[in-house]
Structure 1
């Protein structure tokens, strides 16, 4: 079961349908264009309309074999959409939201605490391999000059890591979307700034973590228009984008080590 195949140019056409500035250049992979489409949709608040269009039954009728009966087609369509939404919701877990289809409209709704706790066992662990995969995707975006997407992924690395280590202490993160406050929660819970025995040079090194969180938050602030123009538009060079991603990856790795050590795990 899968979503309808869309070429890079077709994905760009979907963007234009909703007034999104997505141009086909022929140099990027389809998944990269799709990532840009979703990212632009979120930035312009059109994501619900974009997803509703992608999940529309009419798009499936164009690519599913005509040999299927009407009932078989309906079942294929239902399972394909359910599978896609399930994968999306696994990624949305730490946001406390989930994607649902209501009246043929794709919408994000809040999940109650019980649902989140019950689904924890089905969510992949945030570990070094996961961080490495996200960072590698971000570096791929940088090589394709998709700096906005790379910065979003740098932020995601930090936010999901902070939420994960808090949940290891059975704490539901209260500041989703605000990575500065999330980091403060992590610091307080794991008493990262209470080690009086730490060497002053180590403390100085640790103080630099604040700057990483602050910089990544400001470079890709969810409340700002990352795709806008004018003085609020972030101008960034390739090596700066790479620095942001690598800094986020290094910090996330350190935070995972803090959690492991604090919780008595030997592989920190």
Structure 2
């Protein structure tokens, strides 16, 4: 096995646990894979989830010298490693969930598909507010880019979030400037503000970026607001697109 065969970050985290467990229980060693996995995680935003004692464990020989005198029984070593690597596995599972969410939206690009993703995001709100906020922003971005593609609207891969929303809204005749009624102008202007706000709140709170010394932690209510705002706006955009293309009742 080599690191290139591991498709997701969660796969890599599981492989790291497996490699350490195999060494700790006197089985086959994978020195090259261990080195590659260790370098991958220590050169990524996942570094903060790595066990502190692993900082100086550059090789499996050093790891064996560390783990052998620590526990007499293999089962103790397995339990220890599983507990120590659990923060990393949980963090990578969150990334895996986000990738799955993107895939689900693309596979079922409809209001029904977004409703299903909405449910998945809400399920994560209380246990992982950071991750829920990241998923809310990811859902919005995925829907906007997919709509832009369907509407033949050009954009750059790193398009500013609010700019991308305005491009799609204009194509769907949802720009406030396209409406004379003050009520609709206010509502549609609010939609634009929500889109821009989701991008900014994710930069402050979401788990897709590394955090500095002073970490901002969102409350559950913040995560729920982000999730519900994202899902509601995505549904509105999708239903508008479906209506204009004769795909809705």
Larger radius of gyration: 2
Distance 2:124 2:165 in 1: 26
The question of 1:267 aligning with 2:248 is answered yes
Query: Match for residue 129 of structure 2?
Result: 147
Per mean C-alpha deviation after superposition, the further-off stretch among 128-137 and 234-243 is: 128-137
Aligned with 1:187 (options 153, 156, 169) = 169
Deviations 1:36-75 (A, max 9, x none): 3669xx9xxxxxxxxxxxxxxxxxxxxxxxxxxxxxxxxx
Aligned with 1:22 (options 42, 49, 54) = 49
Kindly tell me: are residues 161 and 12 of structure 1, through their superposed partners in 2, closer, same or farther at Cα, counting changes over 3 Å? Answer: same
TM-score, L = length of structure 1: 0.53
Query: Match for residue 121 of structure 2?
Result: 138
Bigger strand share: 1
Contact (CA 8 Å) 1:159, 1:179: kept in 2 or not?
A: yes
Bigger helix share: 2
Contact (CA 8 Å) 1:147, 1:238: kept in 2 or not?
A: yes
How many residues are matched?
Answer: 181
TM-score, L = length of structure 2: 0.57
Query: Match for residue 94 of structure 2?
Result: 36
Shift of 1:159: 0.9
Kindly tell me: are residues 185 and 162 of structure 1, through their superposed partners in 2, closer, same or farther at Cα, counting changes over 3 Å? Answer: same
Contact (CA 8 Å) 1:175, 1:182: kept in 2 or not?
A: no
Q: Which has the higher contact order (CA 8 A, sep 6+)?
A: 2
Distance 1:31 1:131 in 2: 27
Contact (CA 8 Å) 1:147, 1:241: kept in 2 or not?
A: yes
Distance 1:32 1:135 in 2: 21
SS at match of 1:243: helix
Shift of 1:35: 2.4
Matches for 1:1-268 after TM superposition, within 5 Å: 10=14, 13=17, 17=38, 18-19=41-42, 20-22=47-49, 33-36=91-94, 91=103, 124-144=107-127, 146-176=128-158, 178-193=160-175, 194-197=177-180, 199-221=181-203, 226-231=209-214, 233-263=215-245, 265=246, 267=248
Query: Match for residue 102 of structure 1?
Result: none
Gap runs ≥5 in structure 2: 1-5, 19-36, 51-81
Shift of 1:184: 1.5
Gap runs ≥5 in structure 1: 43-86, 95-122
